[in-house]
Homo-oligomer: A and B are copies of this chain.
C-alpha cells in the first residue's frame, strides 16, 4: 500500500520560525546570500540539520555560496502557508485572550485577529486594541458571515470543550487552544495546543535533571 506524500517533519516545521526571524534580520542588513553553516552556528544547530530543513522548502542553494536570503524567506513563508493571510477570532477576553488579541506580531504569520468574543456582557462593545469584543452568542453568525477559519481559544479550562464544539459547529477549520485542557474533537478539526503546563514541565524536568547530574558529579561546563 502506497501512503504517498509524507509531509514535512514536525520538528522541521518548528524550526522554521527561528530561521525566519534570523533571515529577516539579515535581509534588513542588506545581506544577499547566507550559508546553512552560518545559520546553524547562529541557532546552535548542526549545519547538516539546517540543510535538511531547507531542502524541505524545495529551494536550491549554490555550493560554496549558500542560499539567497530573500528566496529562502519566501520559500519558508510559502511552506508554512504564511503567505495567505487568514482571519481569526479570539474566544475569551480575559487576561490571556486580551493579550493575544492585542499582540501585533501575528501579522507576520499571516494571522489577523478580527474579533473577540466573551460571555461577560460588561465586555461587549469594548475594544482590545483594534479588536472589538462581541457576545459569545454572536459567534456562529459572525464566523459564517466573515468566513473565519481559525479560532483562538482562551477561555477557562472548564468551558474549553463546549466552546471548542461551538467553534466546530460554526465551521471553524482550526483551533489554537490556549486553555489548559485536552480537547476531544473529531479528526477533521485541526487542533494545536499552546500549553503552559507542558512547556513548564519541560523546564522543570531540565532543571531537575541538571541538579541530579551535578549531584552525581561528572563533567563541568565552561563559560
Residues of chain A having any CB pair with chain B under 8 Å: 3-5, 7-8, 10, 13-14, 16-18, 20-22, 43-44, 79-82, 95-96, 98-99, 102-103, 105-106, 109-111, 149-150, 157, 173-174, 176, 180-182, 184, 186-188, 190-210, 212-213, 216, 218, 220-223
Contact = CB atoms under 8 A, between A and B. Distances in A.
Contact of A184 (B10, B44, B194, B205): B44
A207 B174 contact: yes
A88 to B, nearest CB: 10
Contacts of A220: 187-188
Contact of A194 (B17, B111, B196, B204): B196
A202 B99 contact: no
B202 A10 contact: yes
Contact of A14 (B186, B202, B218): B202
List the 8 closest A-B pairs by CB distance, nearest first: A186-B223, A17-B197, A192-B203, A95-B99, A81-B208, A187-B220, A194-B199, A99-B99
Given A181-B21, A200-B111, A207 B223 contact: no
Given A187-B223, A192-B199, A80 B206 contact: no
Given A99-B96, A223-B187, A198 B81 contact: no
A106 to B, nearest CB: 8
B197 A105 contact: yes
27 contacts: A7-B205, A7-B209, A14-B198, A14-B201, A17-B180, A17-B197, A17-B198, A44-B184, A79-B205, A80-B205, A103-B196, A105-B180, A106-B196, A106-B200, A109-B200, A109-B201, A110-B204, A173-B207, A174-B203, A174-B206, A174-B207, A176-B199, A188-B210, A188-B221, A190-B207, A192-B206, A192-B223
A8 B149 CA distance: 37
Contacts of A195: 17
Contacts of A190: 203, 206-207, 210, 221
